[in-house]
């Protein structure tokens, strides 16, 4: 396709990206693997200059759902129709794979999402949903009174210990794997770790040395980050502020042992009480974004 803007006229090639030509798009793809469950299209301008990319992956749990993981056009080449063309190509291809749904999930500010929502709505995506609130924090978190007070307090539970994940006795871990003794939703499992990151700051709350009653997982993520991936407390222990104590334990270690790493934490909006508690806890944190989702029905 030929595109024109104030700065000139460009000939843009939209092509399927595979392991063979991925090198051209390495600055946009980073380390994202391309395999049989991935569909990727790229846009290149004269002499192999990558100007845009779209990549979708088949959903691990629902094979008729595909998720757009990357959709990006370099700012210099925006508003030329490249994004629309990449999306059109992707939609045609996922349709041939029997997909019923194409979803785009993105972490961004409310303002940026409004623009994207407008773009996607015009292309028949619907049902904009806010899934989580995302906080990225560093030592600034000490600015909050509630955090300062909580971090100075010690574990108030006589029978519960906070044990680093690697020191949790084997039988307790085995019980957790089979959901024995404690019931928890799948999406809050201690074992969720899609990118096989290192458990650098994960703690399990263990009662009487025999039973897990909650956990927080802190994974070492690219970009010098600790990603707080799951946080769960057994229903019976929620009223006793065990969640607060568990969070304190992880943050105390974070802010002493891993001072140079930032923290990233996403809180589901499904759970109003946790969302309220976390929003108070992270009140002084400046970086607050949301994870949004929109869906295109394909049949």
Ligand X SMILES: CC(C)(COP(=O)(O)OP(=O)(O)OC[C@H]1O[C@@H](n2cnc3c(N)ncnc32)[C@H](O)[C@@H]1OP(=O)(O)O)[C@@H](O)C(=O)NCCC(=O)NCCS
Which residue, judged by CB position, is nearest to ligand X in the bound state?
83
> Helix, strand or coil for residue 119?
helix
Rule CB under 6 A: choose which of 73, 204, 264, 296 binds ligand X. Answer: 73
Rg over alpha carbons for the chain, rounded to the nearest Å, is: 22
Number of CB atoms found within 10 A of residue 269's CB:
14
Q: Does 40 bind ligand X (CB under 6 A)?
A: no
As beta bridge partners, residue 219 has: 199, 227
- Report the residue number, 3 or 91, with the smaller CB distance to ligand X: 3
- Report the residue number, 66 or 184, with the smaller CB distance to ligand X: 66
What percentage of the chain's residues is helix, strand, coil (to nearest 5)?
30, 35, 30
Which listed range, 29-37, 69-77, 129-137, 200-208, lies at the site for ligand X (CB under 6 A)?
A: 69-77
CB of 51 to ligand X, least distance (A): 8
- Report the residue number, 34 or 141, with the smaller CB distance to ligand X: 34
CB of 242 to ligand X, least distance (A): 36
- Residue 154: exposure state from Cβ atoms within 10 A (0-12, 13-18, ≥19): exposed
CB of 77 to ligand X, least distance (A): 6
> Helix, strand or coil for residue 114?
helix
Q: HSE of 229 in the Cβ direction (CA atoms, 13 Å)?
A: 23
CB of 12 to ligand X, least distance (A): 10
Which listed range, 26-34, 81-89, 142-150, 193-201, lies at the site for ligand X (CB under 6 A)?
A: 81-89
Which listed range, 114-122, 192-200, 202-210, 256-264, lies at the site for ligand X (CB under 6 A)?
A: 114-122
Which listed range, 8-16, 65-73, 196-204, 237-245, lies at the site for ligand X (CB under 6 A)?
A: 65-73
DSSP, residue by residue, 157-209: -SSEEEEEGGGS-HHHHHHHHTT-SS---GGG-TT--TT--EESS-EEEEETT
- Give the closest residue to 263 by CA, choosing from 152, 108, 131, 141: 141
Q: Are 41 and 63 in contact (CB under 8 A)?
A: no
Q: What is the b/e burial string over 241-260, where b = at least 16 CB atoms within 10 angstroms of the residue's CB?
A: bbbbbbbbbbbbbbbeebee
Q: Does 122 bind ligand X (CB under 6 A)?
A: yes
- Report the residue number, 86 or 251, with the smaller CB distance to ligand X: 86
Site for ligand X in 88-107 (CB under 6 A): 106
- Report the residue number, 73 or 296, with the smaller CB distance to ligand X: 73
Rule CB under 6 A: choose which of 83, 214, 218, 263 binds ligand X. Answer: 83
- Judged by the rule CB under 6 A, the positions of this chain that interact with ligand X are 3, 71-73, 78-84, 106, 116, 119, 122
């Amino acid at each position: 396709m030929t595109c024109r803007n104030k700065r000139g006229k460009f000939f843009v090639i939209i092509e399927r990206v595979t392991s063979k030509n991925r090198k051209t798009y390495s600055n946009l793809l980073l380390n994202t693997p391309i395999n049989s469950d991935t569909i990727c299209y790229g846009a290149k301008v004269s002499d192999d200059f990558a100007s845009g990319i779209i990549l979708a992956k088949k959903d691990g749990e629902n094979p008729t759902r595909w998720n757009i993981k990357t959709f990006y056009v370099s700012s210099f080449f925006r508003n030329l129709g490249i994004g629309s063309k990449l999306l059109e190509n992707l939609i045609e291809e996922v349709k041939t794979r029997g997909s019923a749904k194409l979803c785009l999930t993105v972490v961004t500010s409310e303002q940026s999402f409004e623009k994207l929502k407008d773009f996607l709505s015009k292309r028949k995506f619907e049902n904009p949903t806010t899934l989580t609130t995302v906080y990225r924090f560093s030592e600034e978190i000490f600015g909050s009174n509630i955090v300062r007070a909580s971090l100075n307090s010690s574990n108030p539970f006589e029978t519960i210990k906070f044990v680093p994940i690697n020191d949790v006795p084997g039988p307790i871990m085995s019980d957790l794997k089979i959901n024995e003794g404690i019931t928890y939703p799948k999406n809050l499992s201690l074992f969720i770790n899609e990118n096989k990151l290192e458990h650098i700051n994960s703690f399990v709350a263990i009662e009487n040395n025999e039973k897990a009653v909650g956990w927080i997982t802190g994974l070492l993520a690219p970009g010098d980050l600790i990603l707080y991936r799951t946080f769960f407390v057994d229903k019976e222990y929620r009223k006793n502020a065990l969640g607060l104590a568990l969070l304190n334990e992880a943050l105390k270690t974070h802010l002493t042992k891993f001072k140079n790493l930032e923290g990233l934490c996403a809180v589901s909006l499904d759970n109003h009480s946790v969302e309220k508690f976390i929003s108070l806890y992270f009140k002084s944190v400046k970086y607050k974004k949301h994870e949004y989702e929109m869906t295109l029905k394909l049949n």
